[in-house]
Amino acid sequence: MPDLGWNDFDTLESYIANEQRKYPESRGIFADVVRRIGIASKVVAVKVQKAGLLDVLGSHGAHNVQGEEQQKLDVIANEIMKATFEWMPLVAGIATEEEEDYTVYPPKPENEGDRYIILFDPLDGSSNIDANVSVGTIFSIHRVEGGGYRTKLSDFLQPGKSQVAAGYVIYGSSTMFVFSTGFGVHGFTLDPEIGEYVLSHENIRVPDQCTCFSANEANYKKWDEPTQRFADHLRYGDDEIYEITTSRYIGSLVADFHRNLLHGGVFMYPADAQTGKGKLRLLYECAPMAMLMEQAGGMATTGRERIMDIVPTELHQRVPVAFGAVREMEMYEGMVAEADEQ
């Protein structure tokens, strides 16, 4: 046998196929959707990598539904994701951070059984693109029972705990696809030589040691008292567990989350105490990341409520969020509860 330069390995394709075999009770048909996201992400990755070469950097000159300036790459990534799903018979509809309304795809007559709703943040961290900082794509998949013939808003407003899969792609020094179908969290690195996602991080578990504290600390004065107390404890407290805890904040959720998932740490985007509102979007950012964090052994909370339990009331709802290992998340919830009791 000649030396081919590679050994037997799992690709995203083969892993999904195997995962279905391992868990025959899982429905599995949405594996097609996950595969398809993998392909779309390769197209986005190419665009992101060429960003400096193509005339795609900078503002598109328009604003998205949340009043934020859209970057050209936001628009491009959004179009790529939409084009990926619109012909897929399994997809009942999509909602994206970049568009005010959801889109429903009519079922084909031969289409029986469950179909799926895909929610996505096509390009997360896009305000950093001009500075060559890592960005990502986040996705969340829900089932619509009964073929999705009358897909409606409530099918999109499902709590995080009913996700059948969630994940992200990080366009960093390498491109990685990280996802969960409820059987752990697995990471695949794009091998540029063969153009395939290859299993590189099987069954990721978030470390217990809180190595990083990640929040936009310029907002500290806007946080409520228990949030400030929690942040102070991790950063300057005399608990020796936190002696090695250091501040790390990129401003791209995917990149901050990914680092903390691998190295251990707390990421938070707390509420503005005056308005009580968070910044990150429940459906496109918080719920999918919450599924991954829980599947990796950690927790995701608003401080008062498990993120996965929140029933959304609107598509673009924003919630306060903290992700981390159980110890720190329980400590945070404890501090919030203590303050609420007073």
Binding-site partner at residue 216 among Mn ion, ligand AHG, none, CB < 5 to 8 Å by type: ligand AHG
Q: Coil, helix or strand for 120?
A: strand
Size of the chain in residues? 342
The answer to whether residues 175 and 41 touch, using CB atoms and an 8 Å cutoff, is yes
Q: What residues are paired with 189 via a beta bridge?
A: 176, 198
Minimal distance in Å, beta carbon 124 to ligand AHG? Answer: 4
Interface pick for ligand AHG out of 251, 305, 326, 338 (rule CB under 6 A): 251
Interface pick for ligand AHG out of 11, 26, 127, 209 (rule CB under 6 A): 127
d(Cα 91, Cα 316) in Å, to the nearest integer?
20
d(Cα 120, Cα 97) in Å, to the nearest integer?
6
Q: What is the DSSP string of 158-220?
A: --GGGEEEEEEEEESSSEEEEEESSS--EEEEEETTTTEEEEEE-S----SS--EEES-GGGG
Burial of 238 (0-12, 13-18, 19+ CB in 10 A): exposed
Binding-site partner at residue 127 among Mn ion, ligand AHG, none, CB < 5 to 8 Å by type: ligand AHG
Q: Tokens 């696809």, residue?
A: 177
Biggest CA–CA distance in the chain, Å, is: 73
Q: How far are the Cα atoms of 164, 228, 270 from residue 221, in angstroms, in the given order?
A: 38, 8, 11
Between 308 and 321, name the residue whose CB sits nearer to Mn ion.
321
Interface pick for ligand AHG out of 252, 295, 301, 302 (rule CB under 6 A): 252
Interface pick for ligand AHG out of 70, 96, 126, 260 (rule CB under 6 A): 126
Minimal distance in Å, beta carbon 74 to Mn ion? Answer: 6
Residue 124 as a binder of ligand AHG (CB under 6 A): the answer is yes
Between 200 and 317, name the residue whose CB sits nearer to Mn ion.
317
Binding residues for Mn ion (CB under 5 A): 97, 121, 123-124
Binding-site partner at residue 317 among ligand AHG, Mn ion, none, CB < 5 to 8 Å by type: none
Give CA angle at 291 (272, 258), nearest 5°: 75
- How much is the CA Rg of the chain, to the nearest whole Å? 20
- Subset of 288-327 contacting ligand AHG (CB under 6 A): none
Residue 253 as a binder of ligand AHG (CB under 6 A): the answer is yes
- Subset of 95-114 contacting ligand AHG (CB under 6 A): 97
Between 70 and 151, name the residue whose CB sits nearer to Mn ion.
70
Residue 189 as a binder of ligand AHG (CB under 6 A): the answer is no
Between 116 and 269, name the residue whose CB sits nearer to ligand AHG.
269
Q: What residues are paired with 266 via a beta bridge?
A: 213
Minimal distance in Å, beta carbon 138 to Mn ion? Answer: 7
Question: Cα-Cα-Cα-Cα dihedral of 292, 293, 297, 298, to 10°?
Answer: -170
The 198-237 contact track toward ligand AHG, x by CB under 6 A, reads: ------------------x---------------------
Binding-site partner at residue 251 among ligand AHG, Mn ion, none, CB < 5 to 8 Å by type: ligand AHG
Minimal distance in Å, beta carbon 115 to ligand AHG? Answer: 26
Q: Which residues bind ligand AHG (CB under 6 A)?
A: 68, 97, 121, 124-127, 216, 251-253, 279
